[in-house]
Amino acid sequence: MKIILANPRGFCAGVNMAIESLERALEFFGAPLYVYHEIVHNKYVVERFLRRGTIFVESLEEVPAGAPLLYSAHGVSPQIREQARKRNLRAIDATCPLVTKVHLEAVKYAKEGYTIILIGHEGHDEVIGTMGEAPERMVLVETAEDVERLELPENTKLAYLTQTTLSVDDANQVITALRKRFPQITNPPKDDICYATQNRQEAVRELAKRADVVLVLGSQNSSNSKRLAEIANALGPHAHLIDGVAETKPEWFEDAETVLITAGASAPEDVVQECVEYLQSRYGATIQEEIVREENVHFPLPKSLRELLPAGTASSRVGS
Ligand code: 0K2
Ligand code: SF4
C-alpha cells in the first residue's frame, strides 16, 4: 500500500491564530474560560480544550458578567458584540481576518445601498455572523435553484459575497446563475473563498484521481472538510470524512493500493499521523508527500490579547 499525503492539508493560518489565542487566553486568565461557539469545528480540538476548562457557549447569557470571552474563528455578528458590551464581557476576537474581510465588504455594500446576496450554508456560524452585519439588506442563497427563486424589485443594486469555506465549483455554479439572472451584479475584487479552502480543494482534485481510497480528517460540522470529501467522491475514489483513525474500517482498505490522506483546515496534524501510523503498521504502507501549493500565511494574535501578554511574547508560536 502507498499513502499519498496531500500538502497543503490541515490547519490554516486562521485556525492556528484562533487556537493559539485560546491557548494564551487560558494561560493568562486560567479556567474556566468562555468561548462563543466551538473555537473551530473539530471534535478533537474542542474536546482537548474542554478538558482544560474551556466552556463553549451558544448564548452570552451563559457567561458571567465581566468574564473574558473569546469569539471563534468563524466570527460573530455586531448584535453579539453589542450584547457582550452590555454584559461587560472582556471580548477577545479570534475571528479569522479573512472572515472579517467578508464582514467589512457586507458593511461597505450595505452603506452604498446594495442588496447583498450571500452564498453560503444556512445556519453555519460564519453565515450567521456575516448576515448580522446588514440583516435587512442581505439574502442567503445556497444553490442555483435558490437564485431562480429570488424575488427582487427591478433595478435593485446587487452585490454578492460568499462564505469563506465553500466548494469553489459549487460556488461558481451559483455565481453563474446570479450573473445570468442579474448581469449588473457586482462583487469584491478578491475572492471570499479563502486561500486555504482553495488550496486544500485543489490538492484533493489533483491527487484523488490517483487513489483507491481517500481519508479526509475532519469533523462532520466542518464545512471545508465536508467539501474535501465531496470533491474526492465526485472524482471516483471512495472518500471518508472521519475524525480519527478509530472510525476507519478494515474493509475500506481490502483492495486498496493507494490511499490519499488529507485534512480540513480545522483538523490537527496528530490525527493525520495516527492514520498514517495505523496504515504503516497494519499494511506496511509507504508514504509519499505531494506538495501541490506552498503556503506561507500567518496572522497575528488579536490586539486585545497581545496587549495583555508580556512584551516580546505576543508573536504566534504556531506555524501554518
Ligand atoms: O469549515 P468551517 O467554516 O465549518 O470551519 P472549521 O472547520 O472550523 O475550519 C476553520 C475555518 C473557520 C473559518 O473560516
Ligand atoms: Fe481563515 Fe480560511 Fe482558515 Fe477560515 S479556512 S479560518 S477563512 S484561513
pTM above 0.85, yes or no: yes
Statement to judge: residues 240 and 272 lie in one domain? yes
Mean pLDDT score, 182-190: 96
Mean pLDDT of all residues in the chain?
A: 96
Mean pLDDT score, 165-194: 97
Statement to judge: residues 47 and 82 lie in one domain? yes
Please check whether residue 314 lies inside any domain of the structure. no
Please check whether residue 70 lies inside any domain of the structure. yes
Q: From the candidates 20, 126, 133, 230, which is the catalytic residue?
A: 126
- Report the residue among 9, 11, 12 best suited for mutation to probe ligand 2: largest number of ligand atoms under 8 A from its CB: 12
- Ligand 1, atom 3: closest residue by C-alpha: 223
Give the residue numbers spanning the domain of 259: 2-11+195-291
Q: Model confidence over 94-111: pLDDT tens digits? A: 999 999 999 999 999 999
Mean pLDDT score, 218-244: 96
In angstroms, the CA 11 to CA 279 distance is 22
Please check whether residue 316 lies inside any domain of the structure. no
Banded pLDDT at 13 (limits 50, 70, 90): very high
Instruction: Write the single-letter amino acid at 102.
Output: V
- Which residues have C-beta atoms less than 6 Å from ligand 2? 12-15, 73, 96, 98-99, 164-165, 194, 196-197, 224, 265
How many angstroms does the Cα of residue 193 sit away from the middle of ligand 2? 9
Q: Give the CATH number, domain containing residue 208.
A: 3.40.1010.20
Looking at the DSSP bridge assignments, the partners of residue 140 are: 118
pLDDT at 198 over 50: yes
Is 126 annotated in the active site?
A: yes
What single DSSP character describes residue 186?
B
Q: Which residues of 135-155 are buried (b: 16+ CB within 10 A; e: fewer)?
A: eebbebbbebebbeebeeeee
- Which residues have C-beta atoms less than 6 Å from ligand 1? 14-15, 40-41, 73-74, 96, 99, 126, 164-165, 222-225, 264-266
Mean pLDDT score, 266-287: 98
pLDDT at 163 over 50: yes
Banded pLDDT at 222 (limits 50, 70, 90): very high
CA nearest neighbour of 73 among 114, 117, 19, 29: 19
Strands (DSSP E) along 209-319, which ranges?
213-217, 238-242, 258-263, 286-291
